[in-house]
Amino acid sequence: MPATRRIEQANNSFAKNVNKRGKVPVTKLDKKDGPAVSNVVIGLFVFVLCGSVVFQLLQSIQAGFPVGG
């Protein structure tokens, strides 16, 4: 009966946490302290954003239209 053995092990692990009274970690996985997005991705995003702004300005100047309209 492997199910009863597994249940007993689960009960034992939860029984150890009874005396911790709210100090039990939510997950047993280590959380990363770093940012969710790397600096390379942020740099690429800024490069594309600024490049598109410059390209739009040059295109507007060449066409003779006011910027943004």
Q: State the pLDDT at residue 46.
A: 97
Per-residue pLDDT of the chain (69 residues; tens, 9 = 90+): 567 888 888 888 887 777 776 666 666 666 667 778 889 999 999 999 999 999 999 988 888 866 665
pLDDT value at position 54? 94
pLDDT at residue 10, as a whole number: 84
Note the pLDDT of residue 42: 95
List the one residue out of 57, 52, 55 whose CA is nearest residue 67: 57
State the Cα–Cα distance between residues 25 and 15, nearest whole angstrom.
Answer: 15
